[in-house]
């Protein structure tokens, strides 16, 4: 059974399939960047060409998906490296609500 993985403000959640509208995202400096850290400049990412494919669905507001062709590692400079199991996943960014305003958590 696959399970969700959380690394800081990023949650990788298993899904049954990635939407057909989603298109592959190109690597940046040999990394598949899932989320940039606004406060520190660090990022949550997968090493390029190591079994992960990142997709973006612009019809759903730019939602990100990760297809793990095998178990892959999610890395961040300030968090522990985590393993994402083989399969399709959605990337969910943690949000906070304060006085009616919803914002992404700054990492």
Question: If you average pLDDT over every residue of the chain, what do you get?
Answer: 87
Whether pLDDT at 13 is above 60: yes
> DSSP secondary structure string, 12-54?
EEE-S---TT-EEPPPBTTEEEEEE-TTTS-EEEEETTSSEEE
Specify the pLDDT at position 75.
92
Look at the chain and report how many structural domains it folds into: 1
Mean pLDDT highest for which of 19-33, 67-81, 87-101? 19-33
pTM over 0.85: no
Residue 76: name the closest of 47, 105, 106 by CA.
47
Cα 5 to Cα 54: distance, rounded to the nearest angstrom? 16
Whether pLDDT at 86 is above 60: yes
Specify the pLDDT at position 15.
97
Domain of residue 83, residue span: 5-104
Q: Of 13-17, 70-74, 100-104, which range is least confident? A: 100-104
């Amino acid at each position: 059974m696959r399970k969700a993985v959380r690394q800081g403000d990023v949650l990788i959640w298993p899904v049954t399939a990635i939407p057909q509208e989603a298109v592959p995202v190109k690597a940046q400096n040999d990394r598949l960047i899932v989320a940039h850290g606004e406060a520190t400049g660090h990022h949550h990412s997968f090493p390029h060409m190591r079994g992960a494919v990142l997709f973006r669905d612009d019809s759903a507001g730019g939602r990100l998906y990760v297809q793990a062709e095998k178990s892959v590692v999610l890395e961040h400079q300030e968090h522990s490296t985590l393993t994402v199991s083989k399969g399709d996943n959605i990337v969910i960014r943690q949000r906070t609500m304060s006085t009616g305003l919803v914002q992404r958590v700054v990492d």
